[in-house]
């Protein structure tokens, strides 16, 4: 059985042999190179931009400022116009004022990237500085064209929260913060615009994540038909949510290609990435719970400030909206209210980063659960058990929304998973051992976190599947590959349904000229949606092949099977047979084997539609040791458990869990964008923006479960790409609390050595 097997990845040979092609490897004849001149002030009025010296440099073709592209509107939202938020969108180049360090002010086009960079350094930008706003919880400031820098207030909830709090036996309140950090892929952003004047086709090379959505947005922006706009994805050195959105640079290379009549290439350097690519996460939550004497939550009320940065980018307000919708997690919350205040500040704009809204909300919710246990003198595990939604209540509907859909948990046994994980990890022994070591003077502790993920964003996806005369199978999809093993998983699903070797399946993705529809790879949707569409399409190809073979072999389709690409008689594999390739040859135009109305070829489309997402869930356990002298946190043991419903390739799921855990570790202990009082970013190199190293990452113990298949797709699968990151901040915070024997000590991420030393010093 191909589905469920840990087969090796089919996309790896070019990656490990140096034959991979990233956008930086791609070059076109006569191409120009673009370099961006960025604001050096966090907020100010543009007085002048002097490009005379740059234009005089040999090899410079053009320099643009906002005045040169005045016909372009601000960058719109991915899903189309949102009139009430339109004023907060980012201009392609800064107009009249700059709002964050790194904002594009001008662009240079030159014959070489070296000349372009030299020319950019010669452009003189004069800016009158204005006051900066850096704290989203502070009073909003003015914003041009709007009443204030509070872009919107989002409220989600149900029940009479105020009435419950008025009579609650106990109220537990916390003030919690999650720091600003971002995804740091191996490959920075890159884009090449190419205009084919002979065919009037505009191309953008270097697409990622959502090529079809971005194609639609760029076509709207330039007033072009979809057929005259194509995006192409190559190998992608990581996406993590931050790559693949439409940024100013993507628009500029396309416009320049049309105006200048030459291909235009731009590759981001790492400093640009750290101050211009989407940031994420930064929120401050003022949350409280009303609970009874047994630790059962009666109501939850959260007021939080979402630091959006200088503008609303293509995601709009998806992250704070999802944070508010997903916050209750696996627990039964009778009354609930979340109020998200989306505030603009003079920092890099924010959008999604792997596990958006879930990383933040899991930290906040699980800290609150631990605080309930502490205040009432109860076991944190027991408090979780008493509040968990049961398997008998599934499907469990909530009048809350995530990504535009009302939340409906499809399947799960949260308490059952917790019991299994605690037993397998040896939780009682872990608690006893850390207690013994603390008594001997060590600062060691353990902590847990529970969470519910969302995955499989719809509403629809489709693929085209064709068997070639040589027997190979081609799957064309609008999905995207960002390193997650997409090609292998789709090949496995196709092979399993069709009856062929998965290594004979070629998966074509990231080419908008090959298939008209696609929603890419985001929101842990690729395996669920594209995989299900592939399953449907492969079964249709299988049925067509069996029907044709039945006529040739004088059998009924039910008497036949497909084994390793050959159609054989059931129970008599040594009997008469015919290969799928031969069937493909025989189903050419005019073939008498075709049924009335059938198209020629052994090819079909597969479509899959859903009304709701799927909801996998998991649990993390952390054991840490704190160095009292340095404030450092050493992870001694980490368990990451996840119920994925059904794993197409368990090895790839485990890899996703370990990789995303490492990113969660970075945000929990190390990674943070900090700013000076004047809004200058203090972490624009890896000397200051600290990523986890091999020394920091423990051997993660992955526990993968398939106890709750989803009833919402034919394979029972749920997404797993974000499962390793979601619980890390919460589990490590609880473990550090336990190590310090100071419940509730950790209220802010990341838990840096400086912050931890302050806590330790305050206790002495």
DSSP readout, 186-240?
Answer: SS--EEEEEEETTTTEEEEES--S-HHHHHHHHHHHHT--GGGEEEE----S--T
The structural domains of the chain, ordered by start, are: 15-130+188-236+243-270 (3.90.1170.50), 283-453+615-763 (3.30.365.10), 457-609 (3.30.365.10)
Name residue 154's beta-bridge partners: 340
Dihedral of alpha carbons 357, 358, 360, 364, sign:
positive
First to last CA, the chain: 61
DSSP 8-state assignment for residue 86: G
Mean pLDDT of the chain: 96
Length of the chain: 764
Q: Give the model's pLDDT for residue 574.
A: 86
Name residue 266's beta-bridge partners: 191
Q: pLDDT below 50 — which residues of the chain? A: none
Q: Give Rg (Cα) of the chain.
A: 27
SS3 assignment for 675-716: ECCCCCECCCCCCCCCCCCCCCCCCEEEEEECCCCCCCCCCC
| CB 332, CB 398: distance < 8 Å | no
At a CB cut-off of 8 Å and minimum separation 6, what does 111 contact? 32, 33, 59, 61
Q: Give the model's pLDDT for residue 524.
A: 85
- C-alpha distances in Å from residue 68, one per residue of 36, 88, 471: 15, 22, 54
Q: Give the model's pLDDT for residue 1.
A: 65
Dihedral of alpha carbons 426, 430, 433, 436, sign:
negative
Distance CA 325, CA 314 (A): 20
Q: Give the model's pLDDT for residue 685.
A: 97
- C-alpha distances in Å from residue 153, one per residue of 150, 305, 314: 8, 9, 18
- Cα angle, residue 360 at apex, residues 356 and 366 outer, rounded to 5°: 135
Distance CA 738, CA 745 (A): 9
DSSP 8-state assignment for residue 101: T
The two three-digit tokens of residue 504, written as one number:
């004979």
Helices and strands (DSSP H and E) totals, the chain: 18, 29
The sheet carrying 44-50 orders its strands as: 97-98, 44-50, 124-129
Distance CA 393, CA 645 (A): 17
């Amino acid at each position: 059985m191909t589905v469920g097997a840990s087969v090796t990845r089919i996309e790896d040979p070019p990656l490990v042999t140096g034959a991979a092609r990233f956008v930086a490897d791609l070059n076109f004849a006569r191409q120009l190179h673009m370099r961006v001149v960025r604001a050096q002030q966090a907020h100010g009025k543009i007085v002048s931009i002097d490009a005379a010296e740059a234009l005089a440099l040999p090899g410079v073709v053009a320099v643009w400022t906002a005045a040169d592209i005045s016909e372009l509107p601000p960058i719109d939202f991915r899903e189309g116009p949102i009139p009430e938020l339109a004023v907060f969108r980012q201009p392609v180049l800064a107009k009249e004022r700059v709002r964050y360090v790194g904002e594009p002010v001008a662009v240079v086009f030159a014959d070489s990237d070296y000349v372009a960079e030299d020319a950019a350094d010669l452009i003189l930008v004069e800016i009158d500085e204005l006051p900066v706003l850096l704290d989203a919880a502070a009073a909003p400031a003015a914003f041009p064209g709007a009443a204030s820098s509070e872009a919107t207030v989002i409220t989600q909830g149900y029940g009479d929260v105020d009435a419950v709090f008025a009579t609650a036996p106990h109220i537990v309140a916390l003030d919690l913060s999650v720091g600003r950090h971002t995804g740091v892929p191996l490959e920075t952003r890159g884009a090449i615009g190419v205009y084919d004047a002979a065919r009037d086709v505009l191309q953008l090379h270097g697409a990622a994540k959502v090529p079809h959505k971005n194609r639609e947005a760029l076509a709207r922006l330039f007033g072009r038909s979809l057929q005259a706009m194509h995006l192409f994805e190559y190998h992608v050195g990581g996406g993590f949510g931050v790559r693949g959105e439409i940024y100013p640079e993507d628009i500029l290379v396309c416009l320049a290609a049309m105006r200048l009549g030459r291909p235009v290439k731009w590759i981001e350097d790492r400093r640009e990435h750290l101050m211009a690519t989407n940031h994420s996460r930064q929120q401050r939550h003022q949350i409280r719970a009303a609970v009874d004497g047994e630790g059962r939550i009666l109501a939850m009320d959260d007021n939080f400030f979402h630091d959006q940065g200088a503008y609303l980018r293509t995601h709009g307000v998806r992250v704070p909206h999802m944070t508010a919708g997903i916050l209750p997690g696996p627990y039964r919350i009778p009354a609930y209210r979340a109020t998200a205040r989306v505030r603009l500040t003079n920092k890099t704009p924010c959008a999604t980063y792997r596990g958006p809204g879930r990383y933040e909300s899991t930290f906040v919710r699980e800290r609150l659960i631990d605080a309930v246990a502490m205040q009432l003198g109860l076991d944190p595990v027991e408090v979780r058990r008493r509040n968990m939604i049961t398997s008998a209540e599934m499907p469990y509907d909530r009048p809350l929304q995530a990504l535009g859909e009302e939340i409906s948990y499809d399947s799960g046994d949260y308490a059952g998973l917790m019991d299994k994980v605690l037993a397998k990890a040896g939780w009682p022994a872990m608690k006893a051992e850390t207690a013994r070591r603390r008594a001997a003077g060590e600062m060691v502790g353990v902590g847990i976190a529970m969470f519910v993920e969302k995955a499989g964003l719809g509403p629809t996806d489709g693929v085209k599947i064709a068997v070639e005369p040589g027997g190979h199978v081609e799957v064309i999809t609008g999905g995207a590959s960002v390193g997650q093993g997409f090609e292998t998983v789709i090949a496995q699903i196709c092979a399993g349904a069709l009856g062929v070797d998965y290594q004979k399946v070629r998966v074509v993705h990231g080419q908008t000229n090959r298939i008209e529809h696609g929603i890419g790879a985001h929101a842990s949707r690729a395996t669920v949606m594209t995989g299900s569409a592939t399953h449907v399409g492969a079964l249709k190809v299988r049925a067509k092949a069996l029907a044709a073979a039945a006529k040739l072999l004088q059998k009924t389709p039910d008497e036949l099977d497909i084994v390793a690409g050959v159609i054989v008689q059931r129970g008599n594999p040594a009997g008469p047979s015919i290969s799928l390739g031969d069937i493909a040859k025989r189903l050419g135009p005019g073939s008498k084997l075709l049924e009335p109305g059938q198209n020629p070829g052994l090819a079909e489309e597969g479509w899959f539609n859903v009304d709701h997402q799927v909801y996998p869930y998991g649990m993390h356990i952390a054991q840490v040791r704190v160095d009292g002298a340095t404030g450092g946190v050493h992870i001694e043991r980490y368990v990451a458990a996840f119920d994925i419903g059904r794993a197409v390739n368990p090895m790839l799921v485990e890899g996703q869990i370990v990789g995303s855990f490492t990113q969660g570790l970075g945000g929990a202990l190390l990674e943070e964008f900090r700013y000076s009082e004047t809004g200058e970013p203090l972490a624009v190199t890896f000397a200051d923006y600290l990523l986890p190293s091999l020394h920091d990452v423990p051997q993660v113990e992955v526990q993968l479960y398939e106890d709750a298949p989803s009833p919402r797709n034919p394979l029972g699968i749920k997404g797993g790409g974000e499962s390793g990151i979601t619980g890390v901040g919460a589990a490590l915070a609880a473990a550090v609390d336990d190590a310090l024997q100071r419940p509730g000590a950790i209220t802010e991420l990341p838990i840096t050595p400086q912050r931890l030393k302050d806590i330790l010093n305050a206790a002495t």
